[in-house]
Amino acid sequence: MYHNPVLLKESVDALVTNPDGVYVDCTFGGGGHSREILSRLSEKGRLFSFDQDLDALKNAIDDPRFTLVNQNFRFLENSMLAYGISHVDGILADLGVSSHQFDEAERGFSTRSNAPLDMRMNVMQGLDAKKIINDYEEEDLANIFYQYGELRESRKLAREIVHHRKTKKINTTEDLKNLFSYIPAFKQNKFFAQVFQAIRIEVNQELEVLKEMLVQSYKILKVEGRLVVISYHSLEDRLVKRFLKNGMFEGEPQRDIYGNYAKAFELLKTKAIIPDDKEIEENSRARSAKMRIGTKL
C-alpha cells in the first residue's frame, strides 16, 4: 500500500457538506482521502488534488470529476484560478511524509535505512539534506535543530557536524547517525526522529509552506466552507490551531472595546480529534496525528 490514510472517515465526514461542491485535497499521495471524497460527491461535484511528488502521479484516479495538480500546495490559490475556480466548499490537508516516502529507503526520510541524505518531497528541487548538512553555517544548523527539532543540545550538534565535515563529507543517513552514536540506546529513536524532522522541515520549507496554504485556504473557501487539517507534530499543530482560532500565526488580534476579536473560523470541536486505539494498532503512523476542523465565518 502506497499510503494508509489517517482518520479517513472522520476527516471526509467533516469535509464534505455539499455533494455538488468543489473540494481540494492538498496532499494526494496514494489517493486514499481523494477516493473517499469522490465517493461522497454527486456527478456535479469536483475534486482537485495536489501533490508535488512525481511518484504520486502514478496513483491518479480515472474519474471525470477529478483533477490531479502536480504542484506544491503553496500554489493553491493561483492553481485553482488557473482552472477557473475562485471559491471552494472544502479543503483537506493531511500533512507530513507519506508511508511510501518513508518506505522508499533511497529518499532518505527514514532513520531506519542507510540512504543518501536527500529528504526532498519534490525531487526536482535543488536543496537537499546533504547540502544543508555539509554547507550550512554552524549557527544556521543550530537554529534548525532548535526550532524545527526542538533539540536543546542544538549548538553542540551543529558544532560536531561542522567539525567532522572539515575532514570528510557527510553523505548518507548512516554517516550522520554515526556522529551521534554516543547517544544512549534508549534515547536514540526519539533523538534521531527529531534530528531528521528538523532537516526535513528545512529541506521542504514545510512550516512556511503550511502558513501560505492556510492563508490561501481562508481566501478561497466559501463562507461556511470547511478546512480540515491533520498534523503530526507540535510545530504544525500549533500553527493550525492558532490560525483557526484567530487567523494569525503570531501576535495578538485586534480587539474591540469589549475585548472581542473577529474570528476567522468556527471550530467544529474545541479539542483536536485523534485516532482511536484500533486505528493506531492497525497503522502505527497514526499515533501522533491530530485533526482540527474549522468552518469559515
Domain locations along the chain? 8-99+207-296, 107-205
Q: Does 94 carry a binding-site annotation?
A: yes
CATH of 8-99+207-296, one of 3.20.20.60, 3.40.50.2000, 3.40.50.150, 3.40.50.300: 3.40.50.150
Q: Please give the grid coordinates belonging to residue 139.
A: 549557527
CB of 237 closer than 8 Å to CB of 269 = no
Q: Does 31 carry a binding-site annotation?
A: yes
How far apart CA 120 and CA 113 sit, in angstroms, is: 16
How far apart CA 185 and CA 289 sit, in angstroms, is: 26
pLDDT of residue 106: 83
Q: Does 73 carry a binding-site annotation?
A: yes
pLDDT (tens digit per residue) in 3-18: 689 999 999 999 999 9
Taking Cα atoms as reference points, which of 227, 205, 182, 167 lies closest to residue 14? 227
Distances, alpha carbon 108 to alpha carbons 96, 112, 169, 196, in Å:
14, 9, 16, 9
Specify the fold of 107-205: DNA polymerase; domain 1 (1.10.150)
Stretch (H or E) spanning 266:
strand 265-267
Q: Which residues of 41-64 are buried (b: 16+ CB within 10 A; e: fewer)?
A: beeebbbbbbbbbebbeebbeeee
Q: Please give the grid coordinates belonging to residue 135.
A: 554547507
At a CB cut-off of 8 Å and minimum separation 6, what does 229 contact?
A: 92, 93, 95, 214, 240, 291, 292, 293
pLDDT of residue 146: 98
* Mean pLDDT to the nearest integer, 124-139: 97
Q: Does 28 carry a binding-site annotation?
A: no
Report DSSP state, residue 42: -
* Residue 263 vs residue 293, higher pLDDT: 293
* Residue 195 vs residue 259, higher pLDDT: 195
- Stated pTM of the model: 0.93
Q: Does 87 carry a binding-site annotation?
A: no
pLDDT of residue 3: 66
How far apart CA 108 and CA 105 sit, in angstroms, is: 6
Q: Does 13 carry a binding-site annotation?
A: no
Residue 2, pLDDT above cutoff 70:
no
CB of 145 closer than 8 Å to CB of 198 = yes
How far apart CA 98 and CA 201 sit, in angstroms, is: 14
| Amino acid found at 292 | R
CA 222 to chain centre: 23
| Amino acid found at 117 | L
Neighbours of 40 (CB within 10 A): 17
* Mean pLDDT to the nearest integer, 80-88: 98
Angle 89-66-296 (CA atoms, 0-180°, nearest 5)?
10
Q: Which residues pair with 24 in a beta bridge?
A: 48, 91
pLDDT of residue 56: 84
Q: Does 51 carry a binding-site annotation?
A: yes
* Mean pLDDT to the nearest integer, 268-290: 94
Q: Please give the grid coordinates belonging to residue 141.
A: 544548523
* Mean pLDDT to the nearest integer, 23-31: 95
Residue 139 φ then ψ, to 5°? -65, -40
Query: In which residue are the cell numbers 503553496 written?
Result: 74
Report DSSP state, residue 177: H
Taking Cα atoms as reference points, which of 288, 227, 249 lies closest to residue 93? 227
